[in-house]
């Protein structure tokens, strides 16, 4: 009996040591990669308009064959501007949630605490990077662009949901931002060097964040009971719905801005195609790619029941169908 208790204790201690080692690895990578906004990313450069921002693999611009080359470039620049603003927006709630989760470790595992504090610090730096990119875009692009959602309003709405759902959404975001970089941004040689560098440096630090999101999400999952998890699934579906609502409004605004600044008249059918492709692109970037990313889908599948997985799939189905149409 005593031996058995000792073995259980050993096992618990071993698990804790392994977990601490994983947080320690993240800290080591974060220290190795750490970059400075001015010295490494901006280096005195400003944004220009001669090259694309958003890569074709994400912008769906090829679905608009009637656009001439300079118009296609402008289309990618409007999207690239919103893309940076959206990350600046979500990082407000990600930073706040990370600080909240870190309090759980405050008098416990100091290695985990350090990893999460670094994570929050990096997200604050990223928000400044995206704000500066927006200021640069505003200086060179025609007036009339508007990014409607307010970071604090969105954060208040998101943080009103339970931790299980917020960490699920956060893991999704931090995995798909990496997938975007590797599959579409990195291989596109026609992008603005500065815009591309912003997402290169962002990707480097996001790699650590996704590891921490998964650790914290699993920790939260181990703490909740079946009813709370089921509520978490419902809230995660609601959060994806809220993201979709934001994408719909921004796609409308961005398509209207593009039509106003493109410098020529489009037919009614072309304008309608512009609006539709803008929304398809945003849904593809921020909802569908993440949901299909195996690294996210595998964790989700491990945490939820097959019935809950079906529920999530059914909620996403109309968006997936629209993007595929």
* CA 133 – CA 198 distance, rounded (Å): 8
| DSSP, res 142 | P
In the complex, minimum distance from the CB of residue 69 to Fe ion, in angstroms, rounded to a whole number: 32
Instruction: CB nearer to Fe ion: give 205 or 220.
Output: 205
Q: 106: which residues sit within 8 A by CB, 6+ positions away?
A: 113
In whole angstroms, what is the distance from residue 275 CA to residue 90 CA? 23
Minimum CB separation of residue 245 from Fe ion in Å reads: 23
Closer to Fe ion by Cβ: residue 60 or 97: 97
Between 209 and 283, CB nearer to Fe ion: 209
> Which of these, 119, 96, 116, lies nearest to 106 by C-alpha position?
116
Distance of CA 127 to the CA centre of its chain: 12
User: By C-alpha distance, which of 260, 257, 259 is closest to 269?
Assistant: 259
Neighbours of 13 (CB within 10 A): 10
Nearer to Fe ion, 174 or 220 (CB): 174
E strand or H helix at 166, and its extent?
Answer: helix 163-180
Give the H or E element holding residue 218: helix 193-223
Smallest separation, CB 35 to Fe ion (Å)? 12
Least spacing, CB of residue 39 vs Fe ion, in Å:
18
Q: Minimum distance between the CB of residue 206 and Fe ion, rounded to whole angstroms?
A: 5
Q: Which is nearer to Fe ion, 213 or 254 (CB)?
A: 213
Footprint on this chain of Fe ion (rule: CB under 5 A): 126, 174, 206, 209
Choice between 81 and 126, CB closer to Fe ion: 126
Distance of closest approach, residue 34 Cβ to Fe ion, in angstroms? 13
Report the candidate in 215, 191, 216, 186 with the shortest Cα–Cα distance to residue 202. Answer: 186
């Amino acid at each position: 009996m005593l031996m058995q208790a000792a073995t259980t204790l050993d096992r618990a201690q071993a698990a804790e040591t392994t977990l601490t080692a994983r947080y320690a690895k993240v800290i080591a990578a974060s220290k190795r990669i750490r970059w400075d906004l001015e010295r490494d990313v901006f280096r005195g450069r400003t944004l220009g308009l001669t090259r694309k921002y958003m890569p074709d693999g994400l912008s769906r611009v090829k679905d608009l064959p009637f656009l001439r080359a300079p118009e296609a470039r402008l289309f990618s620049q409007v999207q690239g501007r919103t893309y940076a603003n959206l990350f600046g927006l979500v990082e407000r709630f990600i930073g706040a949630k990370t600080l909240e989760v870190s309090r759980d470790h405050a008098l416990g595992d100091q290695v985990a605490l350090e990893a999460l504090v670094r994570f929050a610090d990096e997200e604050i730096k990223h928000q400044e990077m995206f704000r500066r990119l927006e200021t640069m875009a505003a200086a060179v692009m025609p007036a009339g662009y508007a990014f409607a959602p307010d970071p604090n309003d969105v954060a208040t709405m998101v943080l009103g949901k339970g931790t299980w759902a917020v960490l699920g959404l956060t893991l999704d975001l931090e995995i798909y931002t990496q997938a975007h970089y590797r599959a579409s941004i990195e291989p596109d040689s026609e992008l603005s060097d500065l815009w591309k560098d912003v997402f290169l440096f962002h990707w480097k630090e996001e790699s650590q964040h996704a590891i921490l999101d998964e650790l914290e999400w699993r920790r939260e999952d181990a703490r909740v009971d079946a009813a709370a998890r089921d509520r978490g699934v419902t809230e995660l579906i609601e959060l994806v719905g809220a993201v979709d609502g934001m994408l719909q409004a921004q796609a409308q605004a961005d398509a209207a801005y593009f039509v106003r600044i493109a410098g020529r008249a489009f037919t009614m059918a072309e304008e309608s195609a512009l609006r539709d492709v803008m929304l398809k692109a945003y849904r593809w970037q921020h909802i569908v790619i993440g949901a299909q990313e195996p690294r996210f889908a595998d964790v989700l599948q491990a945490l939820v029941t097959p019935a809950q997985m079906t529920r999530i799939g059914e909620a996403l189905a109309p968006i997936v169908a629209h993007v595929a149409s």
